[in-house]
């Protein structure tokens, strides 16, 4: 059965880790990134608190661990470095999605459904 995010008055987005459908809302992602950044700065045991909260956020929101790590890495970069990376990253991502990944994703959906 799909888990649902806590209803905070906004739209409740069903989260099913086995589903190929995923929604990410900017305010939720920013809140999660801020929480993780704050925890990273606090030294609570040998990163135990950070790891525990990271796992909880990943499970609650349905974030893929590697995808969240990439977003966290980008979010922590200096603006000039990030702008330089995004200048080529976004077109590369778009090209890979259009040329290969979106078709693979559709194939997986067709196999499941």
pLDDT digit string, tens, across residues 10-65: 444 545 555 666 777 888 898 988 888 887 776 555 557 778 888 889 999 999 99
Tens digits of per-residue pLDDT, 77-102?
999 999 999 999 999 999 999 988 88
Instruction: Report pTM.
Output: 0.63
Q: Are residues 50 and 90 in the same domain?
A: no
Q: Are residues 28 and 58 in the same domain?
A: yes
Per-residue burial over 70-95, b if 16 or more Cβ lie within 10 Å, else e, is eebeeeeeeeeeeeeeeeeeeeeeee
Q: Are residues 19 and 64 in the same domain?
A: yes
Q: Are residues 50 and 96 in the same domain?
A: no
The domain containing residue 47 runs over which residues? 1-76
Q: Are residues 8 and 34 in the same domain?
A: yes
- Report how far residue 12's alpha carbon sits from residue 19's, in angstroms, rounded to the nearest whole number: 16
Cβ count near 23 (within 10 Å): 12
Q: Are residues 66 and 107 in the same domain?
A: no
How many residues are recorded in the chain? 113
């Amino acid at each position: 059965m799909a888990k649902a995010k806590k209803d905070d008055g906004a739209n409740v987005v069903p989260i099913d880790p086995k589903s190929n459908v995923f929604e990410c809302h900017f305010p939720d992602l920013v809140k999660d990134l801020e929480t993780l950044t704050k925890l990273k700065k606090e030294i609570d045991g040998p990163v135990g608190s950070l790891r525990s909260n990271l796992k909880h956020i990943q499970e609650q929101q349905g974030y893929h661990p590697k995808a969240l790590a990439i977003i966290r890495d980008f979010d922590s970069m200096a603006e000039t470095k990030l702008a330089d990376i995004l200048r080529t990253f976004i077109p590369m991502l778009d090209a890979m999605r259009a040329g290969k990944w979106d078709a693979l994703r559709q194939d997986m959906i067709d196999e499941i459904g």
